[in-house]
Each structure stands twice: as C-alpha cells, then as structure tokens.
Amino acid sequence: MTDDADSAPRTDADADGDTAAVGRDEGAVDDGRAEDAVAFADLSLPQRVFVAAVQNPTRGVAILGLLAFAFSFYIAFWLAFPRIAALASVVGAVLVALVALVYVASDRMAT
C-alpha cells in the first residue's frame, strides 16, 4: 500500500551526504497512450452516458429501475385517463421536439 499524498520527487543521498533528485518519476508509465487519450468534452452524449454507466454501474441499474417504474405509471395513466394522457403526451412530444431543435441549432452555431 502506498501513500500518494507526497508527490515530491524521491531523493537519494550521494557520497557527500547531499541529496539529489532522481531524474525520473517512478509512478509514471510511458507507453505512448497519453497522446491517444480522448478528452471527456470531445465525447458525444451517448458516449458520455456509456462512460458514466461503466464508471458506476449500480447507479445505471437504479436509474433504469426508476425509468421502468415511471413507465408503468405512464401506462396506468393512459388506462385510467386516456384523453388527459393523450394531451400530456402531445405536450411532451412538442417539448422534446423543441429541445432537439435547440440542440441541433446550437451544435450548428458552434461549428
């Protein structure tokens, strides 16, 4: 077990008793992957969701469970009040279309 809190370079005592910094960082691995790394900001929205799900799968499963629970309530809403549910669905579809339009327009303005 190592303590990474001390990030100072290691020193070795030479023959005179002085300390000299070791020229290489022992914690660094130079395998050429640093240039290939992709910034999180460069990822698309589905790629970001995938990265988040891989980093914390328990949260992803919990969110899927909540979405399934919400969908079951949506189905029950349609069965109990079909006219109100239809109106709510149309309003929701219009809002989703507006959000998609703003997303596409802002993406084209940025490039």
CA angle 80, 84, 86 (to 5 degrees): 100
- pLDDT tens sequence across 37-83: 788 788 888 888 888 888 888 988 998 899 999 999 999 999 999 99
Q: CA-to-CA distance for 105 and 94, rounded, in angstroms?
A: 16
Phi, psi of 86 (to 5 degrees): -65, -45
Q: Residue 74's CB: how many other CB atoms inside 10 A?
A: 14
CA dihedral 76, 82, 87, 89 (to 10 degrees): 40
Residues 6+ apart with CB under 8 A from 102: none
Q: Give, for 110, the enclosing helix (H) or strand (E).
A: helix 82-110
19 pairs with which residues across the strands?
13
pTM of the predicted protein model: 0.48
pLDDT recorded at residue 85: 96
Q: Domain locations in the chain? A: 43-80, 81-111
Q: Which residue has the tokens 């589905």?
A: 46
- pLDDT tens sequence across 97-109: 999 999 899 888 8
